[in-house]
Structure 1
Amino acid sequence: MARANLSITPRLRRQLGEWLQEDLGRGDLTTPAVRGREAEAHWRAKADGVFCGGVLMEPLLRELLGPSTQEIELRLLVPDGTPIEAGQRLLELRGPAEQLVAMERTALNLAMRLSGIATATAAFVAQLEGSGVALADTRKTTPGLRVLEKYAVRCGGGINHRMGLDDAAMLKENHLAWAGGVEAAIAAVRTDAPWPARVIVEAETELEAIAAVKAGADGVLLDEFSPEELVALVPRLRDQASRRRGAAPVVLEASGIQPAALVAYAATGIDLISTSAPMTRSSWLDLSMRFSSPG
């Protein structure tokens, strides 16, 4: 089980409230059919995978009910990041039927999306087991869902790359062209950025990668290189980095890879593989909520 923490910030709470309101609109028209009735419900997995999203249930209920959250009893049976099997119970709820129905779709949609990402991430991480190479995500996230989708990656055993443009400086093709080259771009960023900030250079050729290491980059993102190319290039970059006086070892990252070649990339001597595949290519993990009357 991959352990990950999610901070329920005021901003996230507001988002949860907005997502609930998006579904509720002017009010659930089915409410009269169940008003005044107590109900029990549980979530069930309809496919094998890795569960993610249970941590959102309590804040979702708070946004739905306000101070009266105690009206609904919530029991999480499976922590986020846990492998699950089809048919397994994930959580149990008891409370007013109209409230359980009102939150059902929003809660399940979020959990199915996040569980799909966690499941896909876990499958990739399993292929890297024992290699010492970490799997990182990218900034190819759904607008508004970045914090949650990156949390799902951690639940699947991956690590997070930049959360945003203010985490680290990644100099890409356009930056290098407009700045006048690798050295000029790194020097400009170093001048203005806080001293703990890291500078990463995206390299599309061997010459760019070597120049980035020479210029003092903290990391080099090797974009769309084949495993065969990296086997030859990585030792040269390590050797070049070892000559940098007083500098920390450079982090070498492969990106733009084909997921089917993950094992081959892990054997090239790189430190990190970054991919958007768990977010851009994963399917939702099918979950459902089942109701019953309390005994």
Structure 2
Amino acid sequence: MNLLLVRQLLQQALIEDIGHRDLTSELMFEPGEQIGGALLAKQAGRVAGLLVAEETFRLLDPQVRFEAHVQDGADVQKGDVLATVTGSARAILSAERVALNLLQRMSGIATTTRDVCRKVEDLPVRIADTRKTVPGLRIFDKYAVTVGGGVNHRFGLYDAVMIKDNHIAAAGSLTAAVTKIKSRIGHLVKIEVETDTLEQVKEAVAAGADVILLDNMSPAMLTEAVQIVNGRAITEASGGITPETVRDFAATGVDIISLGWLTHSVRAMDISLDLNGKNHP
């Protein structure tokens, strides 16, 4: 992750939560008072976001002592200590909610991604995310997917061409859309085309698409589409795929399976900050 961007996003999150001041912490603690505590896993899962949590505390107290007991990507059990933090009482308690919100969400995404990847780990397919992320959190969400063993799709509209149904409708045809864009981009930019019929798959191959998105196809139809492509483009399956059916889709021979629910329907991992009093050593 780009640390400069991480800090910028964390600053906005802290400003949103603290506003003018943390009234409770300022009334309870003097500026020099210190506390310490531990970040505890309240359930089993895969950890992601410890650096983000550390940077959150450090923005309010540059002298905070943050010691990670595990690394991102570790699989932990309920009761495991993820990290300890010691520093200004005002800073730690003011940063607590933002740090936990992001750590819990990122660890939830990493855990879900890990579980899906394990279902298909013996098959030559990769699990990818989508752009279905909470605005402002994409850098955190997509990082968490990689910690879980998945790969990132495009980060935004700026880093790859993806021709979808509305683009095709506006251009008049799939071929016309691909041809026009090919004439305007550099040689390092890939073109992905969304298809939902086998005829469109054939057209996308003929037009020279680099990646073909096979949208909302059944496993049987997907198998046929992969055979049509026959290695001439990367194939990606998306739409209507659940944790229960992901293996059926992976068995079709598709190269990539992209899953929006890795990030848009995440269940946060339960993690808490348990304090152990002032002047923690």
Q: Is 1:14 aligned with 2:5? A: no
Tell me which residue corresponds to 2:29.
34
What code does the residue aligned with 2:263 have? M
Q: Is 1:185 aligned with 2:180? A: no
Q: Is 1:132 aligned with 2:106? A: no
Tell me which residue corresponds to 1:209.
201
Offset at residue 179 of structure 1 (A): 0.8
Matches within 5 A, 1:1-295: 6-9=1-4, 11-30=5-24, 31-35=26-30, 36-65=32-61, 69-70=62-63, 72-238=64-230, 249-259=232-242, 260-293=244-277, 294=280
CA distance in 2, matches of 1:143, 1:200: 23
Deviations 1:104-163 (A, max 9, x none): 111001111111111111111111101010000001111111111100111111000010
**8 Å contact 2:201–2:228 — kept in the other structure?**
no
Offset at residue 32 of structure 1 (A): 2.6
**8 Å contact 1:17–1:64 — kept in the other structure?**
no
SS of 1:192's partner is coil
Offset at residue 172 of structure 1 (A): 0.9
Point out where structure 1 has 5 or more consecutive residues left out of the alignment: 1-5, 242-248
CA distance in 2, matches of 1:38, 1:12: 26
CA distance in 2, matches of 1:177, 1:98: 56
**8 Å contact 1:20–1:64 — kept in the other structure?**
no
Tell me which residue corresponds to 1:3.
none
What code does the residue aligned with 1:27 have? R
Q: TM-score with structure 1 length normalisation?
A: 0.90
What code does the residue aligned with 2:12 have? E
CA distance in 2, matches of 1:265, 1:187: 30
**8 Å contact 1:75–1:91 — kept in the other structure?**
yes
Offset at residue 59 of structure 1 (A): 2.5
CA distance in 1, matches of 2:119, 2:150: 12
Deviations 1:6-43 (A, max 9, x none): 2212x331221111121111211122323243211110
Offset at residue 180 of structure 1 (A): 1.6
**8 Å contact 2:119–2:247 — kept in the other structure?**
yes
Deviations 1:254-294 (A, max 9, x none): 10032121111111011010011111222111110011132
**8 Å contact 2:53–2:102 — kept in the other structure?**
no
CA RMSD, Structure 1 to Structure 2 (Å): 1.3
State the number of aligned residues.
276
**8 Å contact 2:124–2:253 — kept in the other structure?**
no
Percent sequence identity is: 37
Point out where structure 2 has 5 or more consecutive residues left out of the alignment: none
SS of 2:235's partner is strand
CA distance in 2, matches of 1:55, 1:168: 28
**8 Å contact 1:257–1:275 — kept in the other structure?**
no
Offset at residue 63 of structure 1 (A): 2.2
Q: TM-score with structure 2 length normalisation?
A: 0.94
CA distance in 2, matches of 1:13, 1:90: 21
What code does the residue aligned with 1:23 have? D
